[in-house]
Amino acid sequence: MEVGLFPLGIVLLPTERVPLHIFEPRYRELIAECIAEELEFGLVFADENGVRELGTLARVDEVLEQFDDGRMNIVVEGGERFQVERLTHGRSFMTADVAPVDDDDEEPAPRAIARAAASFRALAAAAEAEAGELDEESEQLSFRLAAQVELAPESKQELLELRSEQRRLELVAELLDGVRAVLIATRELGERAKKNGSRLS
């Protein structure tokens, strides 16, 4: 399957929804074509180390705003993962033949599911946010949990490249626990600063 590629400094996980501002002419062309023909495009992570070969198919879920000069604000949703097999040519934007990326057939252990869900609920409680209903039996729970939290692109790319839901759940639990620890430490530091400030005044 040939798709248009959109290299960005972010990683889009399956099930994740993210807003994008489209301004470069070549990507305005790509996104306009995807909207008109209801096509998906490939979002791939790009940084100083280059463009990754494993990315996520994205579909335009919502057009928030369109400007007279062709720029637009959209929301995209992550679908299936893909591997770039070879770059193709002939368009103003990057294109490639891609193949779907599947997980190994193993089922994750119940303890891995429970631990990742518990880490997510603990983070939500620490952030004083509503965790909502968690369907712990949903496919690719790891992606669903990680998609709801701000994580570093490198960590998200590592998740994307793992072929085992078991290993992804274990990594998600570690990442969520790390975010929670930073959140708690930052809050405690802020409270300590307030107390010190009140002593000085």
Tell me what pLDDT residue 134 has. Answer: 80
What average pLDDT does the structure give for the chain? 92
Q: Which CATH architecture has domain 2-100?
A: Roll (2.30)
Strand 41-47 relative to strand 95-100: parallel, antiparallel, unpaired? unpaired
> Is the model's pLDDT at 199 over the cut of 50?
no
> Is the model's pLDDT at 105 over the cut of 70?
yes
Q: Read off the pLDDT of each residue in 83-93 and give the average, rounded to a whole number.
A: 95
pTM of this structure: 0.89
| Cβ partners under 8 Å of residue 201, min gap 6 | none
* Whether the Cβ atoms of residue 73 and residue 102 lie closer than 8 Å to each other: no
Tell me what pLDDT residue 137 has. Answer: 86
CATH 2.30.130.40 domain residues, the chain? 2-100
**Phi and psi (nearest 5°) for 36?**
-65, -40
**Phi and psi (nearest 5°) for 137?**
-100, 0
Q: What is the pLDDT of residues 14-55, one digit of tens each?
A: 999 999 999 999 999 999 999 999 999 999 999 999 999 999
Tell me what pLDDT residue 197 has. Answer: 57
3 state DSSP class of 54 = strand
Q: What is the pLDDT of residues 23-32, one digit of tens each?
A: 999 999 999 9
Q: Read off the pLDDT of each residue in 82-90 and give the average, rounded to a whole number.
A: 96
**Tell me, what DSSP letter sits at residue 108?**
P
